[in-house]
Amino acid sequence: MKSKKGILFILPGLSGVMVFYLIPFLDVAVRSFQKIDGKFCGFDNYQKVLENKAFHLAVENTIYFVLVCLPLLLVLSLLAAVILQRTGSLGKLCKSAYLIPLAVPAAGVVLLWKLIFDNHGMLNQLLLWLGQNTVDYMNTNASFYVLVFSYIWKNLGYTVVLWSAGLSVIPENIYEAAWVDGAGKLRTFLSITLPNLKQTAFTIVVISFLNSFKVFREAYLVAGNYPQQSIYMLQHLFNNWFRELDMDKMAAAAVLLFLVILIFVYMLHRSWEEEH
Amino acid sequence: MRITRCAGKLCKTVFLGLCAIITICPLLFLLSGSFMDSLELSELIAPVIQGKEGMAGWHWIPRYPTLQNIIELLLDSPEFYKMFWNSVKITGTILIGQLVFAMPSAWGLARYEFPGKKQIYFLYIILMMLPFQVTMLSEYLVLDKIQLLNSQWSVILPGIFSTFSVFLMYRFFAGIPEEVLEAARMDGANEWQVFCHIGVPLGYAGIISAMVLQFLECWNQIERPMAFLKQKELWSLALYLPEISTEKAGFAMAAAFVALLPALFVFLYGQDYLERGITATVQK
């Protein structure tokens, strides 16, 4: 309905958003061009951030993390979603099991992760039993994979549900037509299922990318403020700059990260609009 | 032919089952650990926690089940109660706040055309996607200015105005057919009545989904309380749990298990809504 009355509905919420998010962020954006004492300093802060060694390490690790995790998560969850597609109550039970990590607090899993991945842990016991060498997962570069595992563990169910939603809107009669034409299972999957999931896949990629920032909880609880080098992520960097009140660097870095995310969200938004 | 089909089915079942075991194993781990006595526990985890010789192991069923940990937790640890209550207060206030602010916002955006609407919607989507680290500094500055740092409002207020719920309810409100609303207006209902008597009941599923997802998010949040709450008495449960020393592993696990129960309850009760909420991001 065309009516200004809509504004009245959104005004209370919008003012809160303005006060707590929008205006302070604009303030931070302004500060990113200033020294701590408030003098304008152009792109100095940005230069400082971009030349910062810890920043390089964190960006590299974060990008690498996303590049490893996303394909792995997408493939595993799609596989599960496709298998679950035409199953009854057993499938529902599986989905519930996959979603449970959403309810488990990070602190609850950290001890288990330690027990599994420690030098004297259960995984190494298995390796010994198989006649392999043990790996100290917590204190070497292998800690990266502990984090990858945490991420997959946490997000698998969420992503399976998203894929299932995408699968459920593919019209059944396309499949039937393909079967009548004698197409095999693999063939139908490749030429019907996959092409029809393009839209869903894009949304899932963006959402999973943004969820990857939340893996910080597990990383932080397992390894503290200064973890092993290979899992020093952007989130650690932000957290450390925050604790040291490195305002100028932090403001510039926040704006940079914001811009990267803005690009992703814009693309997602465009694809949603096209859908309508 | 039949053999390959059987093998295929077996592979699928094994894959699904393996995934399910991995996702629920922390839950079973906490459950079994909560009922283990300290001797058995330390025997199992000492190689990891205290660096003793040998390898760590686990009994998924305690050898000598005991209620010792649960009793100590419920009768003898005022700190746990305090933090539990803090979590209830913080989460509860955020959810109520979202009903008051996010619900009308979603309705306004979904059902009316007015200048600036598209821009506001886009702004809300960006804000919902931003990780906490990006807004941490700006939130800190504003909370400092209005002197709310180190009070629970520093976690509650930004939580109330988080835009994810608006987005989710928007998706459900937008699906209500316009004719229904028109009919109500013909009968003389004003816009507020249309919202309360038609919008809310018909968008019920979206509202519940948003509440379920937000509950899980708030109950387990760590980043914001860690950044803004210095005083320990104000902490939420999720922040307090890692503080329990691993020396008292049985107690720590019992605490984590009890902390998990409300989330688990909401999860089991609202699972259909949870799925519909997640689904709303990919479907029209």
Average pLDDT over residues A267-276: 77
Chain B touched by A30 (CB under 8 Å): no
- What gap in Å lies between CA A264 and CA A206, rounded to an integer? 7
Q: What is the pLDDT of residues B134-156, one digit of tens each?
A: 999 999 999 999 999 999 999 99
Handedness of CA A16, A17, A21, A27 (dihedral sign): negative
Confidence at residue A159, expressed as pLDDT on a 0 to 100 scale: 94
Contact criterion met (CB below 8 Å) for B206 and B281? no
Q: Which residue of B has its CA nearest to A252?
A: B134
Contact criterion met (CB below 8 Å) for B127 and B163? yes
Torsion angles phi and psi, residue A34, rounded to 5: -120, 155
The alpha carbon torsion through A251, A252, A255, A259 (nearest 10 deg) reads -170
Average pLDDT over residues B253-257: 90
Nearest neighbour of B101 by CB, restricted to A6, A13, A107: A13
Beta bridge partners of B113: A2
Average pLDDT for chain B:
90
- What gap in Å lies between CA B161 and CA A146, rounded to an integer? 34
Residue A34, classed as helix, strand or coil, is: strand
Q: Is residue A2 part of a domain?
A: yes
Residues A11 and A69 in one domain: no
For residue A275, what pLDDT band results from cuts at 50, 70 and 90? low
Residue B113, classed as helix, strand or coil, is: strand
Average pLDDT over residues A169-192: 87
- Work out how many domains chain A is built from and give that number: 2
Average pLDDT over residues B80-103: 95
Q: Is residue A36 part of a domain?
A: no
Contact criterion met (CB below 8 Å) for A161 and A99? yes
Q: Give the DSSP H/E element, type plus range, for residue B47.
A: helix B38-49
Question: Does A162 sit within 8 Å of B133, measured CB to CB?
Answer: no
Residues A54 and A7 in one domain: no
Q: Is residue A38 part of a domain?
A: no
Average pLDDT for chain A:
88
For residue B1, what pLDDT band results from cuts at 50, 70 and 90? low
Contact criterion met (CB below 8 Å) for A80 and B15? yes
Q: What is the pLDDT of residues B196-219, one digit of tens each?
A: 999 999 999 999 999 999 999 999
B81-120 residues touching A, CB cutoff 8 A: 100-102, 104-105, 107-109, 111-114, 117, 120
Question: Does A242 sit within 8 Å of B140, measured CB to CB?
Answer: yes
Q: Which residue has the tokens 């999931």?
A: A197
Residues A242 and A143 in one domain: yes
Nearest CA to B80 out of B218, B223, B231, B232 is that of B232
Residues A192 and A90 in one domain: yes
For residue A8, what pLDDT band results from cuts at 50, 70 and 90? very high
B115 CA: distance to closest CA in chain A (Å): 8
For residue A153, what pLDDT band results from cuts at 50, 70 and 90? very high
Average pLDDT over residues A194-223: 84
Chain A touched by B169 (CB under 8 Å): no
**Degrees (nearest 5) of the Cα angle A242, A244, A245?**
60
Spatial CB neighbours of B257, under 8 Å, sequence gap ≥ 6: A108, B30, B31, B33, B34
DSSP letter string, A205-233: HHHHHHHGGGGHHHHHHHH-SS--GGG--
In a mutagenesis test of the A interface, which of B134, B148, B212 is the best target, namely the one with the most A β-carbons within 10 Å? B134
Structure tokens at A66: 């996303």
Residues A24 and A53 in one domain: no
Measure Cα distances from B200 to B85, B104, B130, B173, B207 in Å.
Answer: 30, 9, 28, 8, 8
- Whether the pLDDT of residue A276 is over 70: the answer is no
- What gap in Å lies between CA A16 and CA B160, rounded to an integer? 9
For residue B284, what pLDDT band results from cuts at 50, 70 and 90? low
**Strand locations in chain A, DSSP E?**
none
Q: Give the DSSP H/E element, type plus range, for residue B218.
A: helix B204-219
Residues A26 and A122 in one domain: no
B144 CA: distance to closest CA in chain A (Å): 11
Confidence at residue B62, expressed as pLDDT on a 0 to 100 scale: 87
Average pLDDT over residues A112-137: 84
In a mutagenesis test of the A interface, which of B9, B119, B138 is the best target, namely the one with the most A β-carbons within 10 Å? B138
- Whether the pLDDT of residue B19 is over 70: the answer is yes
> Where do the structural domains in chain B lie, given as residue ranges?
2-66, 77-279
Question: Does A98 sit within 8 Å of B19, measured CB to CB?
Answer: yes
Confidence at residue A224, expressed as pLDDT on a 0 to 100 scale: 78
- What gap in Å lies between CA B86 and CA B241, rounded to an integer? 13
A71-100 residues touching B, CB cutoff 8 A: 76, 79-80, 83-84, 93-100
Confidence at residue A273, expressed as pLDDT on a 0 to 100 scale: 77
Helix and strand totals (H; E) in chain B: 16, 0
Q: Is residue A219 part of a domain?
A: yes
Average pLDDT over residues A197-208: 87
Residues A19 and A77 in one domain: no
Residues B77-279, CATH architecture: Orthogonal Bundle (1.10)
Q: Which residue of A has its CA nearest to B107?
A: A9
Domain residues for A48? 43-275
Q: What is the pLDDT of residues B179-194, one digit of tens each?
A: 999 999 999 989 999 9
Average pLDDT over residues A198-209: 87
Chain B touched by A146 (CB under 8 Å): no
Confidence at residue B247, expressed as pLDDT on a 0 to 100 scale: 74
Confidence at residue B40, expressed as pLDDT on a 0 to 100 scale: 86
Measure Cα distances from A212 to A203, A219, B36, B257 in Å.
Answer: 14, 11, 34, 25
The alpha carbon torsion through A168, A172, A177, A180 (nearest 10 deg) reads 100
A108-137 residues touching B, CB cutoff 8 A: 108-112, 114-115, 118, 120-122, 124-125, 128
- Whether the pLDDT of residue A2 is over 80: the answer is no
Structure tokens at B88: 């209830």
Confidence at residue B48, expressed as pLDDT on a 0 to 100 scale: 77
Nearest neighbour of B137 by CB, restricted to A220, A251, A264: A251
Q: What is the pLDDT of residues A252-264, one digit of tens each?
A: 999 999 999 999 8
Confidence at residue A116, expressed as pLDDT on a 0 to 100 scale: 86
Least confident of A135-139, A189-193, B10-14, B238-242: A135-139
Torsion angles phi and psi, residue A40, rounded to 5: -65, 135
Q: Is residue A242 part of a domain?
A: yes
Residues A134 and A82 in one domain: yes
B248: which DSSP letter?
G
Spatial CB neighbours of A229, under 8 Å, sequence gap ≥ 6: A57, A141
Q: Is residue A175 part of a domain?
A: yes
Least confident of A267-271, B66-70, B217-221, B258-262: A267-271
Contact criterion met (CB below 8 Å) for A196 and A175? no
Contact list in B for residue A265 (CB cut-off 8 A) is 125-126, 129
For residue A142, what pLDDT band results from cuts at 50, 70 and 90? confident
B18-47 residues touching A, CB cutoff 8 A: 19-20, 22-27, 29-30, 33, 45, 47
- What gap in Å lies between CA A240 and CA B75, rounded to an integer? 38
Spatial CB neighbours of A160, under 8 Å, sequence gap ≥ 6: A77, A80, A81, A84, A95, A98
A227 CA: distance to closest CA in chain B (Å): 16
Chain A touched by B157 (CB under 8 Å): yes
Residue B36, classed as helix, strand or coil, is: coil
Handedness of CA B123, B125, B128, B133 (dihedral sign): negative
Nearest neighbour of A242 by CB, restricted to B19, B124, B136: B136
Confidence at residue A92, expressed as pLDDT on a 0 to 100 scale: 85
- Whether the pLDDT of residue B76 is over 80: the answer is yes
Structure tokens at B55: 């390898």
> What CATH number is associated with residue A192?
1.10.3720.10
Question: Does B112 sit within 8 Å of A17, measured CB to CB?
Answer: no
For residue B85, what pLDDT band results from cuts at 50, 70 and 90? very high
Confidence at residue B132, expressed as pLDDT on a 0 to 100 scale: 92
Q: Is residue A37 part of a domain?
A: no
Average pLDDT over residues A258-276: 84
* Whole-structure pTM value: 0.91
Residues A208 and A165 in one domain: yes
Torsion angles phi and psi, residue B113, rounded to 5: -110, 125
Structure tokens at B140: 């800190």
Chain A touched by B251 (CB under 8 Å): no
Q: How many CB pairs under 8 A join A and B?
A: 284
Residues A65 and A11 in one domain: no
